[in-house]
Amino acid sequence: MFFHRQELQHKASPDRPDAVYARKLQEVLGGQYGEITVAMQYGFQSWNAHMPGKYRDLLFGIGAEEMGHVEMLATMIAQLLEKAPVGATEKAIQDDPTVAAVLGGTDLQHAIVAGAGARPVDSMGNPWSAGYVTASGNLLADFTANANAEMQGRVQVARLYHMTDDAGVRDLLSFLLARDTMHQNQWIAAAKELQEEGYEQLPVPSNFPQRKEATDVSYEYINFSDGKHAAEGSWASGPTPDGNGEFSYRETPEKGVPMPPPTRPDARFYGTTDLPNVVEKAAGTVQDKLKKD
């Protein structure tokens, strides 16, 4: 169950409206790595978790916080839009190219659809999609996904920080940056603990019997580009992070295997083939079959 309290975790008010910045801020609300994504992602991971206890509690705990972040950003965006100009007929706009320019940079649906309100979209207006969510049931994979989400999110907030000098906006961003710092650290710590406690190991999933994979290429770097420097990395020689092998390097792929012959599905799929007299024959086949239909 979720309970709502009419308070915000942190102050979320700009010093002054800024409809262009409102659009930019949509990215971290409704984008691929926005707050809706992490709120839903941690939610689905917790509901699908196969073990009770601290890991699931962690997912529940951060998931609910992120729903509050969705709310803070939506609240901020609505305020940034409070003086959004209605449109091109304003006298001020006609006289002032800067104002005209501003209009060019706004999310038009903020005005036309939401009436100066926030929307569940990214900065280019794409509606949020659940295709962004990751929840596999394998916690080491999922915590790595979460660490990535918090990193991408913090990179985006950091970029947005420089796109405004509004102290109120920056105050909220500094709070979000701190929470992203915390959450990055937490998912990394949780991923490490999972491995130390033996629940999962590398390579993920660790309980698939590795002898079933083609072990001759499990630790071989095969270079399909002509860059010479890839051999210099720790991924081309030395022990592998999973502790199970030793990296090797192959500068050029081995000769491959021949492609299988093209397929010849049923003639009634009407694919183009090179069978002799194909039109007549296929038609014949078809007609033979049609008689039976």
Binders of a copy of itself among 219-238, rule CB under 8 A? 219-235
Residue 227 CA to residue 152 CA, distance in Å, equals 27
Whether the ω angle into residue 260 lies within 30 degrees of 0, i.e. cis, is no
Q: CA distances (Å), 149 to each of 53, 69, 145, in order?
A: 23, 15, 6
x/- string (CB under 8 A) for a copy of itself, residues 245-284?
x-x-----x-xxxxxxxxxxxxxxxxxxxx--xxx--xx-
Residue 103: helix, strand or coil by DSSP? helix
Question: Is 183 annotated as ligand-binding?
Answer: yes
CB count in 10 Å sphere of residue 240: 15
Whole-number Å distance between alpha carbons of 104 and 125: 14
Please report how close the Cβ of residue 239 comes to a copy of itself at its closest, in angstroms. 9
- Residue 63 tokens read as 């998931």
Per CB under 8 A, does 16 bind a copy of itself?
no
Contact 100, 106 (CB under 8 A): no
Could you report how far apart the first and last alpha carbons of the chain are, in Å?
A: 57
Each residue 168-207 as x (binds a copy of itself by CB under 8 A) or -, in order, gives ---x--xx-xxxxxx-xxx-xxx-xxx---xxxxxxxxxx
Residues contacting a copy of itself: total by CB under 8 A: 214
Instruction: Please give the residues from 23 up to 82 whose contact with a copy of itself meets the rule CB under 8 A.
Output: 23-24, 27, 30-32, 36, 40, 43-44, 47-58, 60-65, 67-68, 70-71, 74-75, 78-79, 81-82
Question: Site residues for a copy of itself, window 86-115 (CB under 8 A)?
Answer: 86-89, 91, 96-98, 100-105, 107-109, 111-115
Binding residue positions: 35, 57, 66, 69, 150, 183, 223, 225, 227
